[in-house]
Amino acid sequence: MPETPDLAFRRRHLLAIEGLHPFEIADLLDCAEGYVAHNRKSDKKLSTLRGLTQINLFYENSTRTRTSFELAGKRLGADVVNMSVSGSSIKKGETLIDTAMTLNAMHPDALVVRHGESGAVALLAHHVRCAVINAGDGSHEHPTQALLDALTIRRRRGRIEGLTVAICGDVLHSRVARSNLLLLQAMGASVRLVGPPTLLPPAIETFQVPTFTDMREGLEGCDIVMMLRLQTERMQGSFVPSVREYFRLYGLTPDKLKAAKPDALIMHPGPMNRGVEIDGVVADDIDRSAILDQVEMGVAVRMACLDALTRHLRDGD
């Protein structure tokens, strides 16, 4: 692994894409590039974070995000501890702040937190001394997902600027949609939101992006089609008439995809529900689906974020 150049990204925490400068985003993506190449080698162990402790605190279920943060920390040489809510005192009624202060007393260097409430990760960050990374807070933000999506797009298309990206499906409940919208716009892409009226945010005008309730119209001429899962766990009541009806109108099928550019890239943050928001044929199209690239980029991006946020600890080394 070559020495990573000096980074312009010098923040204490990574809580959101909102407020990041395009050069900070580009910096993290450039740093992640080096880790993509490194992760393809057989010897993946580095000592960048040797001696540092990373705690992954997940209040919500996760497969890819938790595993990739764990791999990222381990590959960088950190001691990584995974805490899940089911096996901790959180189940016994401990508050978020008490948990934060308890973990803080153990002197971790990085805390990776996923929580069901928007704003909870930022609140926790006020009560600890170490770097905090938001691994998804409610329907608010999921910054590392947007970064890994951007890296995927940049590698597959060579750029982000000037591309047209359609973010489709349950935009209302999606932190992935929000972080991606902010990042892609900051990097000069044109973003559109596509979904049923019930799943588009109420004050949609404030986003100042074109919105479509017809899938084919929304996909017309797009370079990137980013699908979202129906976030039923965040829904109170029913937002779609039926799953079958939803798939008929908004599921990404080979036929609807014809509206996008012939080489349009298909993305999905996972976990995907085949036959709900995406047809298996489209998801498995090896030429056009970037879904597994996204997973690969996830580890590299999380390594870059951990590296960047702990760099000040190593400056005096």
Residue 142 as a binder of ligand NCD (CB under 6 A): the answer is yes
Residue 136 as a binder of ligand NCD (CB under 6 A): the answer is yes
Q: Taking the complex as a whole, how short is the minimal distance between the CB of residue 154 and ligand NCD, in angstroms?
A: 19
Q: Binding pattern to ligand NCD, positions 17-56, x when CB under 6 A?
A: ----------------------------------------
- Closer to ligand NCD by Cβ: residue 221 or 271: 271
Q: Taking the complex as a whole, how short is the minimal distance between the CB of residue 139 and ligand NCD, in angstroms?
A: 9
Cα 135 to Cα 257: distance, rounded to the nearest angstrom:
30
Q: Taking the complex as a whole, how short is the minimal distance between the CB of residue 130 and ligand NCD, in angstroms?
A: 22
Residue 178 as a binder of ligand NCD (CB under 6 A): the answer is no
- Closer to ligand NCD by Cβ: residue 63 or 102: 63
Can you point out the beta strands (E) in the chain?
Answer: 53-58, 79-84, 110-115, 131-137, 164-168, 190-194, 211-212, 224-227, 265-267
- Closer to ligand NCD by Cβ: residue 211 or 273: 273
Cα 133 to Cα 137: distance, rounded to the nearest angstrom:
11
Residue 175 as a binder of ligand NCD (CB under 6 A): the answer is yes
Residue 143 as a binder of ligand NCD (CB under 6 A): the answer is no
Residue nearest to ligand NCD (CB): 229
Determine contact, residues 181/207, Cβ cutoff 8 Å.
yes
* Residue pointed to by tokens 């890296």: 151
Determine contact, residues 268/290, Cβ cutoff 8 Å.
no
Residue 270 as a binder of ligand NCD (CB under 6 A): the answer is yes
Can you point out the beta strands (E) in 138-281?
Answer: 164-168, 190-194, 211-212, 224-227, 265-267
Cα 45 to Cα 29: distance, rounded to the nearest angstrom:
21
How deeply is 46 buried, as exposed, middle or buried, from its count of CB atoms within 10 A (0-12, 13-18, 19+)?
middle
| Residues in contact with ligand NCD by the rule CB under 6 A | 64-65, 136, 142, 145, 175-176, 229, 231, 269-270
